[in-house]
Amino acid sequence: MTTSAASVAVACPLCDQREASPWGRENGYSAVKCIGCGLVYVSPRPADDSISEATRTGQHRHEAGALSVVYAPSRRKLARYRARMRRVLAQELGQDPVSWLDIGAGFGELIEALRDVVPAGSRIRGIEPMAAKAAHARARGLPVTSESLAQVSDSFDFVSLINVFSHLPDPGAFLADIRRLVRPGGTLVLMTGNGAELDRAESYPDRLDLPDHLVFAGRPQLDAFLREAGFEPYARDLVRLDTPVWAAKALVKKLVGQPVPLVLPYRSRFRDMLYLARRVR
Ligand SMILES: [Zn+2]
């Protein structure tokens, strides 16, 4: 959560319209739904100078305080990533090695999962702006560095943004900037929730994490962002989270006093979206 007192009202990051209707509130911030394009975004939001460089590159600021906690990769999470990537990339990967850059690599979870998915000889690397996380990943043998995106001059067959999108104050500009990192014809792999497809924040399956999360797209808005930035989406894998296990976890969180909505299984329109988009210009 920000400690800055300065907040500024902003126009829709997708269509620049200023008219919006209330959507959700959390931590003293409001998320509004653009009446023009349907994007959900935080406004007013922390001033640009307090949205750090780290956030622009996809850093989850609220995790900064958790760094003293020893991170242990969840085997279950790794297995889930591995299975989903294997399924979604089945048509993409042949025998030939590929190059892959993971932006906002965190503790290197995706990289670790991908090692068993991509062909032998592939080059995978990650960038994580928070040095302590990158060091943690390296200590486990995962190639994660903390250099800035501006320092990366290579281009890659695949570039991934896993749960980075919602942290971007200006997703369009960010996507246009990282296009150079995807080789022409290469693939952007983007994972985010479809929050903007929910009428109200009440049906969002977890905390909104305002204002660390600044933007919530749905399929129409994500398609528009990608096309404007020179990518053509060609595969959309949607996974629901509102399983009975999720509902039980939400109930437990509620019982220990966390401000999470209670969910009934298989009722929510929320989906975790995994997009594949080709660089087309
Ligand atoms: Zn809009």
- DSSP class of residue 245? H
Ligand 1 centroid – CA 91 distance (Å): 34
- Is position 71 within any domain? yes
The fraction of the chain above a pLDDT of 70, given in percent, is: 90
Task: Give the separation between CA 125 and CA 107, rounded to whole angstroms.
Answer: 12
pLDDT at res. 100: 98
Average pLDDT over residues 159-165: 96
| 57 or 96, higher pLDDT | 96
Ligand 1 centroid – CA 148 distance (Å): 29
- Is position 2 within any domain? no
Residue 182 confidence class, pLDDT cut points 50, 70, 90 = very high
Ligand 1 centroid – CA 33 distance (Å): 8
- Is position 233 within any domain? yes
- Is position 20 within any domain? no
Task: List CB contacts of 166: < 8 A, sequence separation 6 or more.
Answer: 192, 193, 195, 213, 214, 215, 216
Q: Give me the phi and psi of 100, to 5 degrees please.
A: -145, 130
> Residue 227, SS3?
helix
The fraction of the chain above a pLDDT of 90, given in percent, is: 72
Ligand 1 centroid – CA 124 distance (Å): 35
Segment among 2-6, 77-81, 243-247, 249-253 with least mean pLDDT: 2-6
Ligand 1 centroid – CA 190 distance (Å): 20
Residue pLDDT, tens place only, 136-158: 999 999 999 999 999 999 999 99
Average pLDDT over residues 254-273: 86
Average pLDDT over residues 109-124: 96
Average pLDDT over residues 89-99: 95
pTM: 0.89
Ligand 1 centroid – CA 40 distance (Å): 8
Ligand 1 centroid – CA 132 distance (Å): 36
pLDDT at res. 169: 94
Cα three-residue angle 275-221-195, rounded to 5 degrees: 80
Task: Give the separation between CA 39 and CA 197, rounded to whole angstroms.
Answer: 9
Ligand 1 centroid – CA 50 distance (Å): 23
Ligand 1 centroid – CA 182 distance (Å): 27
Q: Is the pLDDT of residue 259 over 80?
A: no
- DSSP class of residue 198? S
Q: Give me the phi and psi of 202, to 5 degrees please.
A: -60, -25
Place of tokens 């049906």: 203
Residue pLDDT, tens place only, 36-86: 999 999 999 988 877 765 454 444 444 444 444 456 667 888 899 999 999
Q: What is the DSSP string of 65-133?
A: GGTTSPP---HHHHHHHHHHHHHHTTTT--SS--EEEEET-TTTHHHHHHTTTSPTT-EEEEE-SSHHH
Ligand 1 centroid – CA 34 distance (Å): 5
- Is position 3 within any domain? no
Residue pLDDT, tens place only, 2-41: 444 578 999 999 999 999 999 999 999 999 999 999 999 9
pLDDT at res. 66: 43
Ligand 1 centroid – CA 25 distance (Å): 19
pLDDT at res. 205: 79
198: containing domain = 52-279
Ligand 1 centroid – CA 41 distance (Å): 9
The domain tally of the chain equals 1
CATH code of the domain covering residue 218: 3.40.50.150
213 DSSP β-pair partners = none
Output the CA torsion 173→269→28→61 (10° steps).
-50
Q: What is the DSSP string of 132-195?
A: HHHHHHHHTT--EE---GGG----EEEEEEES-GGG-SSHHHHHHHHGGGEEEEEEEEEEEE-G
Ligand 1 centroid – CA 110 distance (Å): 31
Ligand 1 centroid – CA 217 distance (Å): 10
